[in-house]
Structure 1
Amino acid sequence: MAHDIETQMIDDLMEKIITKAMQPGEKFPSENQLANLYNVPRITARKVLTTLDARGYIHSIQGKGRFLKETSKPIQLHLLGNRSFTDKMQHAGYRLMTKNIYCTQINYDEKIYEALQSKKEAEVYKIGRLRLIDGEPIAIHQSFVDKENFPSIVQDGPGIESMFAYYRQLGYEEFMSERSLLSVTFPTSSEQDLLSCRSMVPLIVLESDCIDVKTGNVLEYTKILYRSDKFKYDITSERS
Structure 2
Amino acid sequence: MDDMMHQIFSKTMKHGEKLPSENELTTKYKVPRMTVRNALTKLEERGYIFSVQGKGRYLKEASTQIQLHLTGKTSFTDKMEEAGYDLKTKNILCKKIVFNEQLFQNINANKEDNVYKISRIRYINGEPIAIHNSYVSDKMFPEIAEDGPKIESMFAYYRKLGYNKFASKKSLLSITFPTSAEQQLLACKSMVPLIVVESDCIDVASNKVLEHTKIMYRSDKFKYDITMD
1:72 counterpart (63, 72, 91):
63
Instruction: Name 1:97's counterpart in structure 2.
Output: 88
Rounded Cα–Cα distance in structure 2 between residues aligned with 1:29 and 1:48: 13
Instruction: Name 1:6's counterpart in structure 2.
Output: none
Q: Give the aligned residue type for 2:61.
A: E
How many equivalent pairs are there?
Answer: 229
1:162 counterpart (153, 156, 160):
153
**Residue 46 of structure 2 is aligned to residue 19 of structure 1:** no
Equivalent residue of 1:44, what SS? helix
2:222 counterpart (217, 231, 239):
231
Equivalent residue of 2:183, what SS? helix
Equivalent residue of 2:7, what SS? helix
**Residue 100 of structure 2 is aligned to residue 113 of structure 1:** no
- 1:141-191 CA distances to partner (integer Å, 9 max, x unpaired)? 000001111111111001100000000001111111010000100001111
Rounded Cα–Cα distance in structure 1 between residues aligned with 2:112 and 2:179: 29
Paired-residue identity, % = 62
Q: Give the aligned residue type for 1:184.
A: I
Structure 2 residues without counterparts, runs of 5 or longer: none
Structure 1 residues without counterparts, runs of 5 or longer: 1-9
Contact 1:104 1:126 in 2 (8 A): yes
1:52 counterpart (33, 40, 43):
43
Let me know the Cα RMSD of the aligned residues: 0.8
1:221 counterpart (190, 212, 215):
212
Matches within 5 A, 1:143-222: 143-222=134-213
Runs of 4+ aligned residues of structure 1 deviating over 2 Å after TM superposition are none
Q: Give the aligned residue type for 1:151.
A: P
Rounded Cα–Cα distance in structure 1 between residues aligned with 2:109 and 2:22: 56
1:32 counterpart (23, 45, 53):
23
Rounded Cα–Cα distance in structure 1 between residues aligned with 2:46 and 2:158: 38
TM-score normalised over the length of structure 1: 0.94
Rounded Cα–Cα distance in structure 1 between residues aligned with 2:168 and 2:41: 41
